[in-house]
A and B are shown apart, each in its own frame.
Chain A
Amino acid sequence: MSDVCLPEDKLSLKDSLTVRGINRRKFLKFCSTMVATLALPPKYVAQVATALSNVKRPILVWLEFSDCAGNSESMLRATSPSIAEMVLDLLSLEYHEVLMAGSGKYADAVLQRVMRENDGKYIAVVEGAIPLADGGVYCTIGGRTAIDIATQVCKGALATIAVGACAWDGGIVRANPNPTGGVGVEEAVPGIKVVNLGGCPHNPANTAAVLTHYLTFNEMPALDRYSRPLFAYGRVIHDQCERRAHYDAGRFVQEWGDEGHRRGWCLYKMGCKGPQATYNCPTVRWNDATSWPVKSGHGCISCASPRFWDTRSPFYNRIPDVAGFGVDVPVSEIGWALTGAVTAATLAHGIGQAIRTRFRPPQEATAETEADVSLTGSS
């Protein structure tokens, strides 16, 4: 949506479009419509809606597996277009367990009908991880396993959009020790076309943008190596953060609630993972662009990064603990201990050396001869 055309994102999107041979005029037109959208959201939506009213709206089915429904809720909070505009004007959201009218057999019948009548033409959205351990018994719907349903629905889809960390790479479900063998949809159903929208949850502004891009250009936006849209996941949070000037200056929050904290200083020392995170939270923000975690005083936990639960935690430390030392221990502790140990060993050796110089035989008698011996290899 509007977000696509925020100054930072314009380039990457434009690039991606030119690369794909979409002409510039079309892009600029799209863009100016978007910018106009910023001031007058309903008009833009109406326009797109009119454009689409002649054709049947694309059908969306939203599958939930091992999830918390946070991504569904997040979608409900979308602003431009709002969820009402999205599901009533832009798309036909035919299956979404959180919201749909029908239950049980009636619900399943819808899914089967969509797959039958629109084979290869509908978009599947997946929320939640797919548990593979023990035959998939950790998530069943209508008596069928998540993997069974995902395979059937995603294979028949035009494209699959994985929303949230869980659907992308297993998310929290897959965090150590991954009790249910959860994985993301791309791994669970190999060979399908996936757009990954990480985050915990995903930011609906980006999802709306992806869908709009698809509706406008009939294809998905440019993706990175994790199949994520570049416009949303291409930049480091830290580089877009409003506290960045404090970081560069060296003004850090030292303790929660201290003066620096109240004045909006940088949260780096409190564990902020902004430098390790890519996402567009600082520009798009959340809930009608009201705020984002760092603005509200807590560090970023890098929730849109690969396997972030295990790789970005402990969230209040800057870098991960080292596993395998009985209990996890920070690197700095190991490092200082090692340095200390080497110093101690060196000192001990020095003392030993001082003692032995007092009573050892003279060098002439030994060193050269030994060297000779060693050089001839006969010792």
Chain B
Amino acid sequence: MASGTVNARIRPEASWVRVYVWQLPVRLAHWILVGCLVVLSFTGIYIHNPFIVAVSDRSWVMGTMRFIHVMSGFVLISALIWRFYWFFAGNRWARWDQFVPFTKERRSAMKNMMEYYGFLRWWPAPQVGHNPLAGAAYCAVFGLLIIEILTGLALFDNILGNRVLHSFIGWLTLLINLQYLRMIHFGIMFLFGAFLIHHVYSAILISKEERSGLMDSIFTGYKYISPARLSREGVGERVERH
């Protein structure tokens, strides 16, 4: 057990252990995702309603916006694929089963979290990895990202007319009319926005409540966990400790 690692700002109990929860790939994927979403939303809003009207003969505003949009779209796709790979290759908190409340335990912890948010319970139950409610929310986000990517690719197919891309995604326009795909693509952007607001709020909130250093963890990878909790989650010896 490591000592002297207690972060004064976070002020966890002195006995708590610093655990390497978020491996680098998880953190990288997370921040690439965040970056892409910001860029994609900004350029997407411009594509939807070009609020800058150029007058100069040499400008290339829409062209640039679309270029950036599509390019960051592909970065996002790559980051997500990478993250999905890590669903299977990563540590136990990166795994896919963290996002779906399969076990009775996770379901009741999820209920617990809901009650906490609903002011029916004084304190949240600390977790080593994602709490199951957050996990479910991320699962939804991953799902929305997939839809956003598919619709984005279908829109791109319409522009590009490339045979490979078309055989990959062309079926979608047969299923759902291009215009509705565009509408869905545009509409989901707002869901990400709404998620972000709540997500950042709850990250700060839970970080404070758990005193686990949750906020820092998405940068550093480390969380502070009570030894009792660790052993109760039955992961005591198998985790990387510092």
Partners in one complex: yes
Which residues of A are at the interface with B, using a C-beta cutoff of 8 A?
Answer: 225, 234-236, 239, 247-252, 254, 260, 268-269, 275-276, 305-307, 311-312, 318-320, 322, 331-332, 334-336, 338-339, 341-343, 345-346, 349-350, 352-353, 356, 360-361, 363, 366-368, 370-372, 374-375, 377, 379
Q: Is the CB of A346 within 8 A of B201?
A: yes
- A123 CB to nearest B CB, Å: 28
Contact partner, B187, options A234, A331, A346, A352, Cβ 8 Å: A331
Q: Is the CB of A250 within 8 A of B109?
A: no
Q: Is the CB of B190 within 8 A of A250?
A: no
A238 to B124 Cα, complex, angstroms: 54
- Interface on chain A toward B: helix, strand, loop, or mixed SS? helix
Q: Is the CB of B108 within 8 A of A236?
A: no
Which of B50, B57, B123 has the most chain A CB within a 10 Å cutoff?
Answer: B123
- A147 CB to nearest B CB, Å: 25
Q: Is the CB of B197 within 8 A of A346?
A: yes
Write out the residue numbers on chain B whose beta carbons fall within 8 Å of the beta carbon of A239: 159
Contact partner, B61, options A250, A331, A334, A339, Cβ 8 Å: A250
- Among all A-B residue pairs, the 4 with the closest Cβ atoms: A250-B61, A335-B190, A250-B54, A371-B125
Write out the residue numbers on chain A whose beta carbons fall within 8 Å of the beta carbon of B121: 370
Write out the residue numbers on chain A whose beta carbons fall within 8 Å of the beta carbon of B56: 249
Q: Can you spell out 16 A-B residue pairs with CB atoms less than 8 angstroms apart?
A: A248-B63, A249-B54, A249-B57, A250-B54, A252-B50, A319-B48, A319-B179, A346-B198, A352-B119, A360-B123, A366-B123, A367-B122, A370-B112, A370-B123, A375-B105, A377-B108
Q: Is the CB of B201 within 8 A of A349?
A: yes
Write out the residue numbers on chain B whose beta carbons fall within 8 Å of the beta carbon of A379: 108, 112
- B110 CB to nearest A CB, Å: 9
Number of A-B residue pairs at CB separation under 8 A: 150
- B154 CB to nearest A CB, Å: 11
Write out the residue numbers on chain B whose beta carbons fall within 8 Å of the beta carbon of A352: 119
- Interface on chain B toward A: helix, strand, loop, or mixed SS? helix
Within 8 A of A (CB), among B146-169: 158-159, 161
A361 to B72 Cα, complex, angstroms: 47
Which of B57, B197, B210 has the most chain A CB within a 10 Å cutoff?
Answer: B197
What are the interface flags for B115-146 relative to A under an 8 Å C-beta threshold, 1 for contact and 0 otherwise?
00101011111110000000000000000000
| Stretch from B1-9, B73-81, B225-233 at the A interface | B225-233
Write out the residue numbers on chain B whose beta carbons fall within 8 Å of the beta carbon of A363: 123, 209
Q: Is the CB of B125 within 8 A of A374?
A: yes
B104 contacts the other chain (Cβ, under 8 Å)? Answer: yes
Q: Is the CB of A368 within 8 A of B226?
A: yes
Write out the residue numbers on chain B whose beta carbons fall within 8 Å of the beta carbon of A342: 194, 197-198
Q: Is the CB of B62 within 8 A of A247?
A: yes
Write out the residue numbers on chain A whose beta carbons fall within 8 Å of the beta carbon of B158: 236, 275-276
B24 contacts the other chain (Cβ, under 8 Å)? Answer: no
Within 8 A of A (CB), among B50-65: 50, 52-57, 59-63, 65
Within 8 A of A (CB), among B164-193: 174, 177-180, 182-183, 186-187, 189-191, 193
Q: Is the CB of A334 within 8 A of B179?
A: no
Write out the residue numbers on chain B whose beta carbons fall within 8 Å of the beta carbon of A374: 105, 108-109, 112, 125
Q: Is the CB of B159 within 8 A of A236?
A: yes
B205 contacts the other chain (Cβ, under 8 Å)? Answer: yes
Q: Is the CB of A331 within 8 A of B174?
A: no
- B96 CB to nearest A CB, Å: 21
Q: Is the CB of B123 within 8 A of A375?
A: no
- B40 CB to nearest A CB, Å: 15
Write out the residue numbers on chain B whose beta carbons fall within 8 Å of the beta carbon of A276: 158, 178-179, 182
- B30 CB to nearest A CB, Å: 20
Contact partner, A319, options B53, B123, B186, B190, Cβ 8 Å: B186
**A338 and B190 in contact (CB under 8 A), knowing A250-B52, A311-B179, A343-B197?**
yes
Q: Is the CB of A251 within 8 A of B183?
A: no
Known: A250-B63, A335-B193, A353-B205. 5 other contacts (CB 8 A): A319-B48, A345-B198, A367-B210, A370-B112, A371-B112
Which of A268, A339, A361 has the most chain B CB within a 10 Å cutoff?
Answer: A339
- A227 CB to nearest B CB, Å: 13
- A29 CB to nearest B CB, Å: 29
Q: Is the CB of B183 within 8 A of A236?
A: no
- A371 CB to nearest B CB, Å: 4
